[in-house]
Amino acid sequence: MVVSNDEDRNMIKQSQAGDEVAFESLVRKYQQVVLNLVYHFTGGRADMTEDVAQKVFIKLYLSLPKFKVNRPFFPWLYRITANQCYDELRKIKRNRVLTFTELRADDHAAQDRLMNMHRLPPENGEHERLAQLLAKLMDTLPKQYRTALVLRDIEELPYEEIGAVFRCSVQAARLKVFRARLQMRRALRKLLKPVDADQMAECGTEGAGEKIYALYRG
């Protein structure tokens, strides 16, 4: 988590005045954060991460004159990043071309192929399979729940920060995360075969994700 401070304020002020060197420093400071965020918001689409991150910084540069320096910078950057990512995902969905053979409802392999056609080709590791499963689950969630889950469970932001991103109270941020988790659970239940809770509990905590996934897949 990067905390905005006086150094940030100075860089923002100078960038607003048209200083490209100051803006470059700002980009250097936040590039890793933005790249990680983009990667997670787009559901692990590594091929588009860099392009989208670049667009985020261009958008940031263009809207910097409107930014009030006394306000926290980080939540604003988060919002710009999230909006840009969802715009890109919408574009991908809009431009997706379906063929008649791929449209058959019973052909799940073709549907999976279509859903993941903009992701990197999967490798044969458990980690990749889990990442694909998560991406599929995230695709079923509404925008704000997806953001809430990324911020809380992937980026591990405190609820105060999540509230600042959503421009709501801490309590409302908690509620959003709670609802997002419930929806995720519902989607998981639909997607995977039901397994006995005892079997799941036996998986323990260390590497439980992989074990439960293996149980579900049979």
Residues of this chain that bind other proteins (CB under 8 A):
20, 23-24, 27-28, 31-32, 35-36, 38-40, 44, 46, 49-50, 53-54, 57-58, 61, 127, 130-131, 133-134, 137, 149-150, 153-154, 174, 177-178, 181, 184-185, 188-189, 197-198, 200-201, 208-210, 212-213
- CB-wise, 94 or 190, nearer to other proteins? 190
- CB-wise, 19 or 107, nearer to other proteins? 19
Dihedral angle computed from the Cα positions of residues 33, 77, 73 and 172, in that order, rounded to the nearest 10 degrees: -100
- CB-wise, 71 or 186, nearer to other proteins? 186
* Shortest Cβ 116–other proteins spacing (Å): 14
Give the whole-angstrom CA distance, residue 81 versus residue 30.
11
* Shortest Cβ 117–other proteins spacing (Å): 19
Give the whole-angstrom CA distance, residue 176 versus residue 148.
7
**Alpha-carbon distances of 12 from 1, 28, 36, 59, 167, rounded to whole Å:** 18, 13, 22, 14, 21
* Shortest Cβ 86–other proteins spacing (Å): 18
DSSP string, 120-183: PPPPSSHHHHHHHHHHHHHHHS-HHHHHHHIIIIIS---HHHHHHHHTS-HHHHHHHHHHHHHH
- CB-wise, 110 or 140, nearer to other proteins? 140
- CB-wise, 85 or 212, nearer to other proteins? 212
* Shortest Cβ 82–other proteins spacing (Å): 16
CB-neighbour burial class of residue 137 (10 A; exposed 0-12, middle 13-18, buried 19+): buried
* Shortest Cβ 3–other proteins spacing (Å): 19
Could you say which DSSP state residue 204 is in? -
